[in-house]
Chain A
Amino acid sequence: MKRSSIGTRRLVLGLLGVVLIAAMVYVVMRSGPLAPTRVTVVEAAEGRLTPALFGIGTVEARRSYVIGPTVAGRVRAVAVDVGDTVKAGQLLAEMDPVDLDERTAALDASVARAGSAMAAADAQRRDAQARKELAAVNARRYVELGQQNFISAGAVEARLQEQASADAIVSAADANLAAARQDQQRLAAERAGLRQQRANVRLLAPADGVVTSRDAEPGSTVVAGQAVVRVIEPSSLWVKVRLDQGRSAGLAAGLPAQVVLRSNPGRAFAGKVARVEAISDSVTEERVALVALDQAPASLSVGELAEVSVALPSTERAVLLPNAAIKRLQAQTGVWVMEGGALRFVSVRIGQASLDGQVQVLDGVKPGTAVVVHSEKDIGAHSRITVVDSLAGRTP
């Protein structure tokens, strides 16, 4: 009895000891420097990828019109409000003409007066003409009489002088008439100019469009060039996209694009790159492209934020790897390759990348090579590793 009791105790104690030692070994192997790093591995495979560029932009109007006066003045009336659809030539607003109407009336009167002056000059001319004819007849008669020596030479010369004087008076009357006519023309032209100025204070729509803002109300004073109303052409809306310069290789006009508006994140609208700006933003280091929508939604608002993905043509067949596999060791870009349980760093040349995280490897890795993708911590050539299916989470 006593012996067996001691035997049992010895057994239990021994078991406890074994359990303790096993626990210790487990602890030492699973944590600390002896523990292997868990990694996931992918086999490099060949394929094509469709690279894409991603940028954000705002909806803008290709053609927007700032409509305001050409001279400083006071707004008399604004005929339209924000959201109104306007036709080309429609009156949008009118500036206060101040004295333009009165000055037109004054010029009307001046023109009429110039007409009267012309009539007077004409009458004077006719009078001078009559005098000239009489002087000519008299001069001719006196000359004949002078040749027959009926009268003295002095009397003949007086009549000739009378005739020359009458000729000069006719010329003066002609000139007077021309001056009166020119005066009338000048006044008429001045009146036409004033009428144009009068028409210029009426602000008309330059094209069909929608009023986007009403910046001045009747009574307010605006300077030359300041906006009274703004009009955009809704048919000309496009998205001005800013793309990171570092990721804009291949951007060209005509590429298809997907536009997701912030107001409607669930739906992508098809579009096309309409233009790539030749000048990129040097401060933000972004390129600017304009993407036109094939079918613009009616609710599109100017200034709305949009996410744009521009699809590039798919690449040649090449080895593809997830971008999580690409590491930088000192100055080299490469991947960790598994060869018979050992790790080796292989430097690679990277080509294009797709938005879903695939990277084209131009050389360095052959298809079928096992490449480390995810790891629990930084790995080196001498890291002990165990390969697992996944380390955490689910793949997107």
Chain B
Amino acid sequence: MISLAGRDILHSWGKFVLTGIGLGLLIGVTLTMAGVYRGMVDDARALLNNSGADLWVVQQDTQGPYAESSSLRDDAVRSVLGLPGVARAANVTYLTMQVRRAAAAGVAPAGASDDDVRAMVVGFEPGQPGEPGYLVAGRHITRSHYEAVVDIRTGFVLGERIRIRRHDYTVVGLTRRMVSSGGDPMVFIPLKDAQEAQFLKDNDAIVNERARTAANPSLNRPGVPGLLEAIQASQANNRNVNAILVQVQPGTDVEGVAEPVRRWKHLEAFTREQMEEILVAKLIATSAKQIGMFLVILAIVSAAIVAFIIYTMTLGKIREIAVLKLIGTRNRTIAGMILQQALGLGLIGFIVGKVAATVWAPVFPKYVLLETGDAVRGLLAVMVICALASTLAIRVALKVDPAAAIGG
């Protein structure tokens, strides 16, 4: 028995292939949109994974350090380290800023240069939680100052000098998928440098502040030598960090460690689940919903278009179907032909879409995560839609009067 569907496709293969590709691109867009949504959530999760922490200790009554600003003294880590169940704890600072190439710095004013990259500068203690877990090139930081490990997305290369505030840093290592919840690539620098970068004012501001203090008669008293210097020294340094990353000993209940921190240390502590809740449900909620909404509409529109294409393809073959009926072809064969064609079209469309989405996903500026689960669901959805659309077409085909074949 010859395949009616195959014969028909062979007959008008150009139309079939082009329709399939067009459909595929549409499916590709839908898959990509799903990937954008997944990528967004994954960025948030990547941030949590990379920090390697079981517990985040932040300023009391804040939901920092990612969702809100949090600031605590950098010696608080010592009292956290002394709690039972804590294996390791380390200070960390986060600061999102424009990072410039050192060569470009100074030539163009800040902000005007194309040579700067939006990045999240992470201050970490080498060998402690918060350190990048793996590198794709180079080495970890060995000096306690002025070295940086950067995400490959920043575009910096090994050995390059980058400028953060007033100091130049040498890029010694590259890593991957180290991003902030907003998808900005990370730049890892030693904690002390990061503290300085975060809280250091520019030179003009420092000079102005000194002059302002010196002009204050109560702070610059002639009878008390050294007072002015002491005040100015205390204004110039900062001992704050944004969070403490805590790793608990294996087998310890994380909540059991968090509870005394909240109660006795007067700090806030979030477990991994709570942090994920904050990041996914609060921080990126609106933009994720926005994308999700768009994804839903796109999926509906795609389904409608697929259905209409199948339907119009069948309508275009009304005369041929009438002929088939006239020569006594069974309804089942005709229905089978239309269903096979629809499913074939759906399959081709899906493959083209999946390939297209995979090809263009890395070009996107933010991370696009194409999940296998999404692909399988997409395939099922496409097949179901194609099958449903073909029933519509089959109904029309079966109603065709065989007389239509001879112009009746």
Contacts and interface: CB of A to CB of B under 8 A. Distances in A.
Contacts of A396: 138-139, 158-159, 172
Nearest to B177: A377
Contacts of A284: 192
Interface stretch (B141-149, B285-293, B328-336, B390-398): B141-149
B152 interface: yes
Contact of B136 (A10, A354, A375, A379): A375
Contacts of A31: 358, 370
A344 B135 CA distance: 18
A321 to B, nearest CB: 11
B319 interface: no
Contact of A324 (B87, B143, B173, B222): B173
A154 interface: no
A32 B370 CA distance: 7
Given A54-B145, A322-B139, A23 B17 contact: no
A55 B155 CA distance: 29
A297 interface: no
B351 interface: yes
**Most chain-A Cβ atoms within 10 A of its Cβ — which of B136, B152, B352, B372?**
B136
Contacts of B177: 377
Contacts of A356: 139, 142
Interface string A11-51: 01100100011011001001111000000000000000000
B239 interface: yes
A391 interface: yes
B137 A331 contact: no
B137 A391 contact: yes
Contact of B10 (A10, A20, A307, A390): A10
Contacts of A222: 222, 225
A379 B176 CA distance: 13
Chain A CB within 10 A, most for which of B354, B358, B372: B358
Contacts of B139: 322-324, 356-357, 396
Interface in A327-367: 327-328, 330-331, 353-357
B250 interface: yes
B47 to A, nearest CB: 14
Nearest to B168: A265
Given A20-B348, A54-B143, A378 B134 contact: yes
Nearest to A215: B225
B218 to A, nearest CB: 17
Contact of B249 (A21, A283, A331, A353): A331
A395 B138 contact: yes
A394 B172 CA distance: 10
A13 B138 contact: no
A331 B375 CA distance: 37
Nearest to B375: A32
A374 B9 contact: no
Interface string B335-377: 0000000000000100110110010000000000010100100
Interface in A283-323: 283-284, 307, 322-323
Given A13-B13, A54-B144, A378-B134, A225 B75 contact: no
Contacts of B142: 54, 323, 353-357
A156 interface: no
Nearest to B144: A244
B250 A330 contact: yes
Given A223-B225, A375-B134, A378-B134, A392 B174 contact: yes
A110 interface: no
B10 A327 contact: no
A117 interface: no
A214 interface: no
A254 B262 CA distance: 48
A95 to B, nearest CB: 15
B351 A24 contact: yes
A395 B176 CA distance: 16
B355 A27 contact: yes
B84 interface: no
Contacts of B140: 323-324, 326, 357
B397 to A, nearest CB: 23
A377 B137 contact: no
Nearest to A354: B142
Interface string A363-396: 0000000000111111100000000001111111
B157 interface: yes
A394 B87 contact: no
A223 B152 CA distance: 60
A227 interface: yes
Contact of A27 (B136, B172, B249, B358): B358
A6 interface: yes
B87 A391 contact: no
A129 interface: no
Nearest to B137: A393
B145 to A, nearest CB: 5
A374 B136 contact: yes
Nearest to B134: A375
Nearest to A66: B225
A392 B355 CA distance: 25
Which of B13, B75, B142, B173 has its CB near the most chain A CB atoms (within 10 A)? B142
Nearest to B226: A226
17 contacts: A6-B10, A13-B13, A27-B355, A33-B372, A54-B143, A56-B146, A223-B225, A324-B134, A355-B142, A355-B143, A357-B138, A357-B172, A378-B134, A391-B174, A392-B136, A396-B138, A396-B158
Given A20-B348, A27-B358, A394-B159, 11 more contacts: A6-B10, A10-B10, A27-B354, A55-B145, A330-B250, A331-B249, A355-B143, A357-B172, A374-B134, A391-B136, A393-B174
User: Which 5 residue pairs are nearest across A and B when measured between Cβ atoms?
Assistant: A357-B139, A391-B136, A54-B143, A226-B225, A244-B144
